[in-house]
Amino acid sequence: MKRSPPFLQGALAGPLTKRQRQTIEEDVRGLLRWQETLKGWRPAKSAVAGVPFVALYARGALRACMGSGEGPYAERLTRAFLSALGDTRFGGVGEEAREDLVAEVSFVRSPRKVSPEALAEFFEVGTHGVGLHRDRKPPVFLLPSVARDSRLDAGGMVAALQHKAGVAVGDGELFAFETETVVVRRYVSKGPFPSVVEAGARWLAGLILPGGQVAFSIEARNGEQTLVGEMNHARAAAVLHALRAQGGARAKLARADAWLAGEGRRALAGKAIAGWPLDPARVAATLALAARAGVKALLPDARTYAAAQASRLAEVPWHAAQVVALLGQEAPAPVWEACVRDLERQPWAPWTALAAHQRGDARALAKAARGLVAAVRPEGAAYAGAVTITRAPEVAITALTVEALRAVLGRGRDAGVVAAIARGSRFLEGCQLTRGSVPGPYVPETEGAFSAVPGSSLLRGDVTGHAVLALLE
Mean pLDDT on 136-145: 87
Name, of 67-71, 281-285, 453-457, the range with top average pLDDT: 281-285
Q: Is the pLDDT of residue 461 over 80?
A: yes
Whether 158 and 121 have beta carbons less than 8 Å apart is answered as no
Better-predicted residue by pLDDT, 170 or 423: 423
Arithmetic mean of pLDDT over the chain:
93
Sequence-ordered list of residues with C-beta below 8 angstroms from that of 83, at least 6 positions apart, any chain: 54, 66, 67, 68
Per-residue model confidence as pLDDT tens digits over 149-198: 998 999 999 999 999 999 998 889 999 999 999 999 988 777 777 899 99
Taking the C-alpha atoms of residue 365 and residue 351, their distance in angstroms, rounded to an integer, is 11
* pLDDT given at position 8: 66
At 138, is the pLDDT very low, low, confident or very high (cuts 50, 70, 90)? confident
Specify the pairing of strand 173-185 against strand 61-67.
Answer: unpaired
Cα 358 to Cα 290, 301, 352: the distances in Å are 16, 19, 10
* pLDDT given at position 9: 72
Strand partners, 108: 179
Element (H, E) at 302: helix 299-308
* pLDDT given at position 2: 44
Better-predicted residue by pLDDT, 9 or 405: 405
Mean pLDDT on 204-233: 96
* pLDDT given at position 411: 67
* pLDDT given at position 412: 67
Taking the C-alpha atoms of residue 431 and residue 34, their distance in angstroms, rounded to an integer, is 33
CA 305 to chain centroid: 34
At 286, is the pLDDT very low, low, confident or very high (cuts 50, 70, 90)? very high
Better-predicted residue by pLDDT, 261 or 194: 261
Per-position DSSP letters for 56-71, written without gaps between them? EEETTEEEEEEE---S
* pLDDT given at position 181: 95
Cα 300 to Cα 46, 328, 330, 336: the distances in Å are 63, 14, 12, 19
Please, what's the b/e burial string for 211-242 (b: 16 or more CB within 10 A of its CB; e: otherwise)? Answer: ebbbbbbbbbbeeeeeeebebbbbbbbbbbbb
* pLDDT given at position 55: 96
* pLDDT given at position 3: 47
Taking the C-alpha atoms of residue 152 and residue 50, their distance in angstroms, rounded to an integer, is 26
Taking the C-alpha atoms of residue 124 and residue 297, their distance in angstroms, rounded to an integer, is 44
Better-predicted residue by pLDDT, 349 or 110: 349
At 4, is the pLDDT very low, low, confident or very high (cuts 50, 70, 90)? very low
Q: Is the pLDDT of residue 7 over 70?
A: no
Per-residue model confidence as pLDDT tens digits over 45-79: 999 999 999 999 999 999 999 999 899 999 999 99
Taking the C-alpha atoms of residue 273 and residue 277, their distance in angstroms, rounded to an integer, is 9
User: What letter would DSSP give residue 170?
Assistant: G
Cβ of 186: how many Cβ atoms within 10 Å?
Answer: 18
Task: Give the predicted TM-score (pTM) of the model.
Answer: 0.91
Taking the C-alpha atoms of residue 292 and residue 240, their distance in angstroms, rounded to an integer, is 10
Q: Is the pLDDT of residue 358 over 60?
A: yes
CA 16 to chain centroid: 23
Mean pLDDT on 322-331: 97
Cα 40 to Cα 30, 65, 80, 99, 104: the distances in Å are 8, 24, 19, 15, 21
Q: Is the pLDDT of residue 360 over 60?
A: yes
Dihedral pair phi/psi, residue 112, rounded to 5°: -155, 145
By percentage, how much of the chain surpasses pLDDT 70? Answer: 97
Q: Where in the chain is the domain with CATH 3.30.1490.150?
A: 6-185
Q: Which residue stretches of 206-279 are H helix?
A: 232-246, 250-268
- State which amino acid sits at residue 197: V
How crowded is the C-beta side of 435, counted as CA atoms within 13 Å?
Answer: 15
- State which amino acid sits at residue 139: P
Sign of CA dihedral 225, 227, 230, 231: positive
Q: Where in the chain is the domain with CATH 1.50.10.20?
A: 196-471
Q: Packing angle between helix 280-292 and helix 317-327, nearest 10 degrees?
A: 30
Taking the C-alpha atoms of residue 457 and residue 453, their distance in angstroms, rounded to an integer, is 9
Mean pLDDT on 400-422: 89
Per-residue model confidence as pLDDT tens digits over 425-451: 999 999 999 887 799 999 999 999 999
* pLDDT given at position 346: 95
Sign of CA dihedral 35, 41, 44, 50: positive
Cβ of 458: how many Cβ atoms within 10 Å?
Answer: 15
Please tell me the class of the 6-185 domain: alpha beta
Strand partners, 184: 103
At 1, is the pLDDT very low, low, confident or very high (cuts 50, 70, 90)? very low
Whether 446 and 438 have beta carbons less than 8 Å apart is answered as yes
Please, what's the b/e burial string for 124-156 (b: 16 or more CB within 10 A of its CB; e: otherwise)? Answer: bbbbbbbbbbeeeeebbbbbbbbbbbeebbbee
Mean pLDDT on 94-107: 92
The domain made up of 196-471 has a fold known as Glycosyltransferase (1.50.10)
